[in-house]
Amino acid sequence: MFEIVERQEMAQGTIISNWIKAPKIAAKAKPGQFVILRANEKGERIPLTMADTDPAKGLINIIYMVVGKSTALFKTLQVGQGYLDVIGPLGQPTHLEKVGKVICVGGGTGIAVLYPITRGLKQMGNYVYSVVGARSKDLLILEDQMKAASDELMICTDDGTYGHKGFVTDKLRETLEKHKDIALAVCIGPVPMMKFCCKVTKEFNVKTLVSLNPIMVDGTGMCGCCRVKVGGQMKFACVDGPEFEGHEVDWDELNLRLRSYVAEEKVSFDQFKGAHAPGCSCSR
Amino acid sequence: MTEEVKAPKKEKIPRQKMPEQEPKVRARNFEEVPHGYTPELAQKEAERCIQCKDPRCKQGCPVEIEIPQFIAKIKEGDFEGAIRKLWEKNSLPAVCGRVCPQEVQCEGLCIIGKKDEPVAIGNLERFAADHQRLHGRDVLPPKADPTGKKVAVVGAGPAGLTVAGDLILKGHEVTIFEALHGPGGVLLYGIPEFRLPKAIVAQECNFLERMGVKIEVNSVIGRSETVDELLERFDAVFLGVGAGLPVFLKIPGEHFIGVYSANEYLTRSNLMKAYEFPAYDTPIVKGKNVATFGGGNVAMDGARTALRLGADHSYIIYRRSHDELPARSAEVHHAEEEGVEFLLLTNPLRFLGDDATGRLTGVECLRQELGEPDASGRRRPVPIPGSEFVVDIDTAVISIGSGSNPLLTKSTPGLSLNKWGYIVADPKTGKTMKPRVWAGGDIVTGSATVILAMGAGRMASNSIHDYLTYGW
Ligand SMILES: Cc1cc2nc3c(=O)[nH]c(=O)nc-3n(C[C@H](O)[C@H](O)[C@H](O)COP(=O)(O)OP(=O)(O)OC[C@H]3O[C@@H](n4cnc5c(N)ncnc54)[C@H](O)[C@@H]3O)c2cc1C
Ligand SMILES: Cc1cc2nc3c(=O)[nH]c(=O)nc-3n(C[C@H](O)[C@H](O)[C@H](O)COP(=O)(O)OP(=O)(O)OC[C@H]3O[C@@H](n4cnc5c(N)ncnc54)[C@H](O)[C@@H]3O)c2cc1C
Ligand code: SF4
Ligand code: FES
């Protein structure tokens, strides 16, 4: 078992952070890489990015949004309990280099994926503008961490409860207009957000990295479930990615494939909710 | 040879069939198809063997099992003696009895097969192994004294399991590193429950663990650790990572929801137990009209899985004719009995789908006819112009082969690869170009068979043992 040693609820319990004991993975992991977790014998293999690691203590940090059965099941796991399987580090690490000025844009739990990359870019000596967004103030995560990892941090909420009222794309456009020397954009969040960010950066001809989250099974390039179209070619996100050149990604195809199992996911989630009263913390 | 055929003058016993589930019933469940011989049936079948002095069957066996000898033991009712004979050459008889292509190996050469049906060697092998598992004494073979040498085996498929089993007996310390969350390789994630119950695979792996083999699952070598790092901790490394790269048809529409590689379809169903969804969490598209592309064992497994998941129509779409189907004949026969529909001499052109929902709705195909023989002597299929037609399907399973997965090979400098990306290894020893590294199984040969992977494992383990003992 891979034990949870620290657990935190964020964004009103919709986003959970776990620090998990996995010394071998912690020793190897680099920003941009992910792990696959399975809670129990009947569980699905779920990919989650490592938001942080502590190699000295042998710990990895995952931050996930509760969206369905498996993440709801993960949420029931308390400190001292853990995951049956954790596999990683998987995927290509982010290629971190000094390019000068960069802009990092994150939405929702995408901020958790963005954070280690932002920090890495800053450590390389880049000047980092960051834009983070959430639906409302209560749902924003990792503000302090992102502030520390950036030179300038901008905040957006859809409902205006905090920072700029509106989408991250507004601030992205504004910043790109002001600073024509920005050489790289990193945009991570829900598919529509990444798609629209790419539209904006394309106008300014700024190279853009995105992190794709197709459905996966093995995470080792064996099954082809995670195939995405990039630059007209079939790529496997688990081994070729998960980061890709955003202007090349076929977003509509990704969006459709993410909906492969909507009907089954509902069956599974409804059954889970039926069996567990709100607040139940068993790990069934 | 001739005297052997005419010598025993006794009543002719027909080849004994294994009792099996009715096709209609079994096509809807995941339980194993044949039930296996009873001791009486096994002994009756064993009587059919005339105990050739120079047995041809043995020549057909890639690991040269003493076939007449184990069959004689069954005939005498000494079932433990039979399994011991098998174990001398084959550490996974319960698996091989079920999945080996006996008709082109031992049974294909059996002398009885000249005039009658050959002795059912595979069924007998299976019987001996099952009888041992279910009723036999729990015996662990003796191990040699510890040598203090350490071996890392990468990949827990038949090749890796064989190497581990051999070397632990010889007194070496063995650790298997497996990428998935369970050991067995294709035996676990690929071959379905109804053909090879997972309890058998688990038992074989558990046996190795009781012998002292350490199995570290969730270890993706190349990511969690590199081969070079393993070489710092181990005296020798064996690579048995299989041919785990899906091959797609490369025709338009492969992104539609419902189009699967065989690897994904079978992994979801077998490893993740999607057929028990929602009791198990992993879903699978339960198609009503399913087409499986290809004609090998993998394709038969895909088409038969589709029936069991509830398909009304399960098609095999294959570009050549019935004679060229590369699957075991038993699998083709079982598939036909269960109602799989074969669209032969048919080539897919493109997948059709609903652009709004992203779901697969059909596949456009072209009919072909057999033309002139090609270099391999097989008559080449040539397209019939204007013969396009559409098959309505909601699920497609692409089973046209597999390639070499570059994850490990790319991260291992010093290995030499052939043009398809498979590892170059000495066919007699399994030695690669990289010092202290051996390889065998599908990652060397491309996808082949369980027994060939085990045979390669056996050769490599001998070579590794020599190296650890004598330094060469
Ligand atoms: C490489 C990678 C890294 C990821 N990192 C993170 C992370 O750090 N934090 C985080 O919260 N999530 C991350 N995800 C997404 C996460 O894996 C999914 O949210 C999770 O699998 C949903 O499982 P579920 O059973 O709870 O929900 P389900 O019931 O399976 O799905 C609910 C809804 O979520 C969406 N969904 C399903 N599967 C995925 C998927 N694989 N990715 C995205 N959306 C999906 C679908 O729209 C679906 O309808 C990552 C995905 C990938 C591939
Ligand atoms: C669906 C299907 C049906 C088949 N039916 C038959 C049949 O009826 N009869 C027959 O004889 N043959 C059959 N075969 C072929 C046979 O299964 C294979 O030839 C055989 O399993 C090859 O054995 P292997 O040990 O080389 O590799 P595999 O069985 O592929 O095992 C390799 C193992 O290595 C692991 N691995 C891969 N990469 C890494 C890594 N980087 N780090 C750690 N571990 C790794 C994999 O997860 C896997 O567990 C079938 C194959 C399939 C797919
Ligand atoms: S199985 Fe067939 S070939 Fe082998 S010894 Fe018996 S009769 Fe001879
Ligand atoms: S998840 Fe199976 S190939 Fe990427």
Which 3-state string (H, E, C) describes B81-118?
Answer: HHHHHHHHHCCCHHHHHHHCCHHHCHHHHCHHHHCCCC
What is the distance in angstroms between the Cα of B261 and the nearest Cα belonging to chain A? 6
CA distance B128 to B97: 9
CA distance B165 to B211: 8
Give how far Cα B143 sits from Cα of B160, B170, B242, B462, Å.
Answer: 19, 6, 28, 16
H/E run at residue A243: strand A243-245
Tell me, rounded to whole angstroms, the distance of Cα B79 from its chain centroid: 25
Q: What is the pLDDT of residues A25-80, one digit of tens each?
A: 999 999 899 999 999 999 999 999 999 999 999 999 999 999 999 999 999 999 99
Chain A interface residues (partner B, CB cutoff 8 A): 24-25, 28, 38, 42-45, 69-70, 73, 84-90, 217-225, 227, 229, 234, 239, 253, 256-257, 259-261, 264-265, 267-268, 271
Whether residue B52 has its Cβ less than 6 Å from ligand 3? yes
- Please give the interface size between A and B, counted as residue pairs whose CB atoms are below 8 Å apart: 111
CB-based contacts of A169: which residues, under 8 Å, 6+ apart?
A: A193, A196, A197, A199, A200
Single-letter amino acid, residue B238: F
Q: How far does the centroid of ligand 4 lie from the alpha carbon of residue A222, in Å?
A: 6
CA distance A153 to A131: 6
CA distance B316 to B397: 9
Single-letter amino acid, residue A30: K
Q: Is the pLDDT of residue A268 over 90?
A: no
CA distance A49 to A61: 9
Q: Which residue in A118, A132, A45, A114 sits closest to A84, CA to CA? A: A45
Single-letter amino acid, residue B34: P
For residue A64, the cross-strand partners are A16
What is the rounded (10 degree) CA torsion for B174, B176, B182, B187? -90
For residue B1, the model assigns a pLDDT of: 45
Closest partner residue to B279 (CB to CB) among A42, A69, A221 is: A42
Q: How far does the centroid of ligand 2 lie from the alpha carbon of residue B424, in Å?
A: 18
What ipTM was assigned to the predicted interfaces of this complex? 0.90
The terminus-to-terminus CA distance of chain B in angstroms comes to 42
For residue B140, the model assigns a pLDDT of: 79
- Is the separation of the CB atoms in B415 and B241 below 8 Å? no
Joined tokens for residue A53: 């690691």
Question: What 3 state SS string does A126-176 have?
Answer: CEEEEEEEECCHHHCCCHHHHHHHCCEEEEEECCCCCCEECCHHHHHHHHH
Q: Which residue in B376, B382, B314 sits closest to B347, CA to CA? A: B382
Q: How far does the centroid of ligand 3 lie from the alpha carbon of residue B86, in Å?
A: 15
Asked if B281's CB is within 8 angstroms of A44's CB, the reply is yes
Ligand 4 atom showing the smallest separation from residue A216 Cα: 1
- Is the separation of the CB atoms in A143 and A79 below 8 Å? no
Does the global pTM surpass 0.80?
yes
Q: What are the chain B neighbours of A89 within 8 Å (beta carbons)?
A: 223-224
- Is the separation of the CB atoms in A153 and A161 below 8 Å? no
Query: Quick check: B180 contacting A, CB < 8 Å?
Result: yes
CB-based contacts of A51: which residues, under 8 Å, 6+ apart?
A: A17, A61, A62, A63, A112, A113, A115, A116, A142
CA distance A43 to A26: 23
> What's B327's DSSP letter?
S
3-state secondary structure of B429: coil
- Is the separation of the CB atoms in A268 and B281 below 8 Å? yes
Q: How far does the centroid of ligand 2 lie from the alpha carbon of residue B25, in Å?
A: 29
Asked if A85's CB is within 8 angstroms of B181's CB, the reply is yes
Joined tokens for residue B280: 């198990």
For residue B404, the model assigns a pLDDT of: 94
What percentage of chain A has pLDDT greater than the value 70? 97
For residue B6, the model assigns a pLDDT of: 54
For residue B200, the model assigns a pLDDT of: 92
Asked if B407's CB is within 8 angstroms of A220's CB, the reply is yes
Q: Which residue in A1, A15, A12, A88 sits closest to A49, CA to CA? A: A88
CA distance B281 to A69: 8
Q: What is the pLDDT of residues A203-234, one digit of tens each?
A: 999 999 999 999 999 999 999 999 999 999 99
Single-letter amino acid, residue B25: V
Angle CA A98–A99–A104, to nearest 5 = 95
CA distance A216 to A236: 10
What is the distance in angstroms between the Cα of A249 and the nearest Cα belonging to chain B? 14
- Is the separation of the CB atoms in B430 and B240 below 8 Å? no
Q: Which residues of chain B have pLDDT under 70?
A: 1-11
For residue A277, the model assigns a pLDDT of: 62
Query: Quick check: B97 contacting A, CB < 8 Å?
Result: no
3-state secondary structure of A122: helix
Q: Is the pLDDT of residue A282 over 60?
A: no
Q: Which residue in B248, B242, B290, B284 sits closest to B265, CA to CA? A: B284
To the nearest whole number, what is the mean pLDDT of chain A?
92
3-state secondary structure of B438: strand
Asked if B223's CB is within 8 angstroms of A224's CB, the reply is no
For residue A28, the model assigns a pLDDT of: 93
Whether residue B57 has its Cβ less than 6 Å from ligand 3? yes
CA distance B301 to B269: 11
Q: Is the pLDDT of residue A270 over 70?
A: yes
Q: Which residue in B195, B243, B153 sits closest to B430, CA to CA? A: B153
For residue B2, the model assigns a pLDDT of: 47
Q: Is the pLDDT of residue A168 over 90?
A: yes
- Is the separation of the CB atoms in B169 and B190 below 8 Å? no
Q: Which residue in B309, B373, B316 sits closest to B345, CA to CA? A: B316
CA distance A5 to A125: 33
Least confident segment among A127-136, A180-189, B19-28, B116-125: B19-28
Give how far Cα B134 sits from Cα of B71, B203, B263, Å.
Answer: 19, 11, 31
